[in-house]
């Protein structure tokens, strides 16, 4: 088989694997908390937030800014974890894919 044919076959296999990985990542979740567990964020590994839970004890109206900061922290941590997992999984699909001249 010519090197172009091998490359095309390898690219098709990689595309199929990436589609499977993306579907699996959309179902996989990570969880992060902040404020000693007062705020919990669950993110999907496709970069979306699945849920945000707030301990009612953290909802003192005078603490609104603190709660907002805790939500932001937990959400960013969860999304970073999800992105790391996504990058690792996608890297597995592209591992060994060699493009001549690159």
Which one-letter DSSP state was computed for residue 53? E
Give the span between the Cα atoms of 70 and 43, in whole angstroms: 15
Q: How confident is the model at residue 101 (pLDDT cuts 50, 70, 90)?
A: low
For the chain, domains (ranges, CATH) are 3-94 (3.30.1310.10)
Nearest to 51 by CA among 42, 39, 62: 42
For 63-87, write each residue's pLDDT tens digit.
888 888 888 888 888 888 888 888 8
> According to the model, what pLDDT value does residue 12 have?
84
Residue 97 pLDDT more than 60?
A: yes
Residue 102 pLDDT more than 80?
A: no
For residue 3 the two structure tokens come to: 């090197």
For 23-64, write each residue's pLDDT tens digit.
888 888 889 898 899 888 888 888 888 888 888 888 888 888
> Which sign, positive or negative, has the C-alpha torsion 56, 49, 32, 63?
negative
Q: Which distant-in-sequence residues (6+ apart) come within 8 Å of 57 by Cβ?
A: 38
For residue 41 the two structure tokens come to: 């964020």
């Amino acid at each position: 088989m010519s090197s172009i044919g091998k490359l095309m076959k390898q690219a098709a296999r990689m595309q199929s694997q990436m589609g499977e990985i993306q579907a699996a990542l959309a179902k996989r979740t990570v969880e992060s908390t902040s404020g000693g567990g007062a705020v919990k964020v669950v993110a999907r590994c496709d970069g979306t937030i699945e849920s945000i839970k707030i301990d009612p004890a953290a909802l003192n109206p005078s603490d609104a800014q603190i709660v907002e900061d805790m939500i932001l922290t937990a959400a960013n941590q969860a999304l970073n974890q999800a992105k790391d997992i996504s990058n690792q999984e996608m890297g597995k699909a592209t591992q060994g894919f060699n493009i001549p001249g690159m």
